[in-house]
Amino acid sequence: MIYLDSAATTLQKPKSVSAAMLSALRTMASPGRGGHLPAQRAAQTAYACREAACALFGMDDSEQVVFTFNATHALNLAIRSLVKPGDTVLISGYEHNAVSRTLYAMPNVTVKVAHAPLFCPEETAGRFEELLTDEVAVVVCTHVSNVFGYILPIEDIARLCRERGVKLIVDAAQSAGCLPVSMERWGAAFVAMPGHKGLYGPQGTGLLLCANRVEPLMMGGTGSESRLQQMPDFLPDRLEAGTHNIPGIAGLLAGLRFVERVGVERIGSHETDLVDRMAEGLEEIKGVRVFAQNPGAGCQSGVLSFCVDGMDCEEVGQRLSGAGIAVRCGLHCAPLAHKSAGTLECGTVRASVSAFNTRQEIRAFIRAVAALKK
């Protein structure tokens, strides 16, 4: 099978990930819940995982790294810590439902959307500049669109937020592991990410990087300050109630080490190379509409959307699946992105790559799409 759905979750993981998970299942207990060896091993693994994340994302203090179930959980924690009733929040026109549904569910919060056309970073930054008025309390912005692979001008947006003293939450779901992510350089209050996509950890893992005071969503045991009826006020304990997903954290640690070893830049340029080739090949097929940046523009990651004339995208997905190729079809939980790009009615077929895909697989994929038109 040719797996081109890594924007949902990476399927091919480094072998070290499953080995670490199996070893954790067999040898580790719950960190902070006992002084015995299995508990100590678990605590060391959790600590090493926070340290590895710190190193990869340019942070000094590993206690600011919080484990979550996924990126959605991390975004909920960040948004609910910063946004209060009566606030106005500015978001990009490419947000995932993990951001928009969370904001729209909050009482008395006004959401302004900086819609801008696809692959136009200057226009996107301009829209933020225009809409970032005094009443905006918080900006939430995705680094990369999960539908189109559009890399938003996050450096410019972060600079605007710093200049105007507005708190910034970055959704790094599609960039962590393949593009530089630096909370400190951006001056972000929070950066949220999954562990199971470009960091090659298992499903059920995510990270929230915190530079701001946080409010817990869940209360419970932390193994610390146990006499108190309130959650501890220090990180990471304040946000980590209950037993940790230690096999998941062990797998995520192995994934982070893989990314560190191969290098974010190398993974990113491999993925861009594959997507550029994909765009070039698909554009040659009559009746296929490809959403790709101008060659060399530097604003597209390893995700590409396309539509086939006269064919529903679900049908394209099914036929490709029959040919042994896994893609994703529809709105990809990001209706705002489709509104920005004008594809809300039809959706798109999305092909997304990882460090494990090859040029040969991309050629086979292009041939399979061409065969649909015959």
CA distance 257 to 48: 10
Looking from the CA of 284 toward its CB, the CA atoms found within 13 Å total: 10
Annotated active-site residue in 49, 313, 329, 333: 333
Q: According to the binding rule CB under 6 A, does residue 146 interact with ligand PLP? A: yes
Determine how many CB atoms are found less than 10 A away from the CB of residue 353: 29
The 205-244 site mask, x for binding ligand PLP (CB under 6 A), equals -x--------------------------------------
Q: Which is nearer to ligand PLP, 43 or 169 (CB)?
A: 169
- Give the H or E element holding residue 290: strand 288-291
Q: Which is nearer to ligand PLP, 208 or 264 (CB)?
A: 208
What would the x/- binding string for ligand PLP be over residues 314 to 353, using CB under 6 A? ----------------------------------------
Q: Which of 194, 251, 255, 281 binds ligand PLP (CB under 6 A)?
A: 194
Q: Which of residues 98-127 bind ligand PLP (CB under 6 A)?
A: 98
Q: Which of 67, 102, 132, 171 binds ligand PLP (CB under 6 A)?
A: 171
For residue 120, give the amino acid letter: C
User: Using N-to-C axis directions, what is the helix angle for 97-104 and 71-82, rounded to 10°?
Assistant: 40
Q: Does residue 174 bind ligand PLP (CB under 6 A)?
A: yes
Nearer to ligand PLP by Cβ, of 171 and 271: the residue is: 171
Q: Which residues pair with 150 in a beta bridge?
A: 300
Strand partners, 193: 207
Pick the closest to residue 92 from 32, 138, 53, 134 (CA basis): 138
Please report how close the Cβ of residue 50 comes to ligand PLP at its closest, in angstroms. 19
Whether the Cβ atoms of residue 168 and residue 139 lie closer than 8 Å to each other: yes
Among 173, 179, 299, 355, binds ligand PLP (CB under 6 A): 173
Within 10 Å of residue 46's Cβ, how many Cβ atoms?
A: 25
Candidate list 142, 222, 300, 357; residue touching ligand PLP; CB under 6 A: 142
Catalytic (active site) residue 333: yes
Output 319 or 339, the one with its CB closest to ligand PLP.
339
Cis bond upstream, residue 153 (ω within 30): no
Minimum separation from the CB atom of position 71 to ligand PLP (A)? 3
What does the alpha-carbon distance between residue 261 and residue 277 come to, in Å, rounded to a whole number?
26
Q: Which positions from 43 through 102 interact with ligand PLP, judged by CB under 6 A?
A: 70-72, 96, 98
Query: Are the beta carbons of 299 and 293 closer than 8 angstroms?
Result: yes
What DSSP assignment string belongs to 250-291?
HHHHHHHHHHHHH-HHHHHHHHHHHHHHHHHHHHTSTTEEEE
Please count the residues of this chain forming the interface with ligand PLP, following the rule CB under 6 A: 13
Identify which range of 83-91, 110-118, 171-179, 211-219 contacts ligand PLP by CB under 6 A: 171-179
User: What φ, ψ does residue 70 adopt, rounded to 5°?
Assistant: -175, -175
Strand partners, 136: 88
- Give residues in contact with ligand PLP (CB under 6 A): 8, 70-72, 96, 98, 142, 146, 171, 173-174, 194, 206
Catalytic residues: 333
